[in-house]
Amino acid sequence: KQEVTQIPAALSVPEGENLVLNCSFTDSAIYNLQWFRQDPGKGLTSLLLIQSSQREQTSGRLNASLDKSSGRSTLYIAASQPGDSATYLCAVRLIQGAQKLVFGQGTRLTINP
C-alpha cells in the first residue's frame, strides 16, 4: 500500500529565508507527483506537477524535484514571504488505480515577518 509522508508537520521560519519541504513515498510505481497549497478554510491549489519521467519543475520562486528511485520529492521555496504561509501537501498518482491520488498529511508553514 502506497504511503506518503511529509516531515515536519509544521515549520516556522523568518521572512526571506530559503526553505525545503519534504515528501516521501513508499512505492516508486507512480505516474506523477503534485504539490498543493491549502489556505485555512479553503480548497487546495495545485502548485507544481512532476511527471514520473521528469526530475524537476519550476514556477516562480518554487522548485519541485522528484527522485522516484529513492521515493522522495522536495519543494524548494526561495526568498520566503509571509504570504507563503499555508499548508503544503504532496500527492502521488498511482500507476495502478490510476484515478487515485494518495495525499500526505501536509506541512503547515508559517513565515514570520
Q: Which residues bind to other proteins, rule: CB under 8 A?
A: 4, 31-32, 34, 36, 41-46, 49, 51, 89, 91, 93, 99-101, 103-106
- For residue 99, the tally of other CB atoms under 10 A from its CB is 6
Min. distance of Cβ 11 from other proteins in angstroms? Answer: 18
Min. distance of Cβ 18 from other proteins in angstroms? Answer: 25
Q: Rank residues 36 and 109 by Cβ distance to other proteins and give the closer one.
A: 36
Nearest to 59 by CA among 51, 68, 50: 50
Question: How distant, in Å, are the alpha carbons of 10, 23, 31, 59, 73 from that of 67?
Answer: 23, 10, 13, 18, 6
Min. distance of Cβ 86 from other proteins in angstroms? Answer: 13
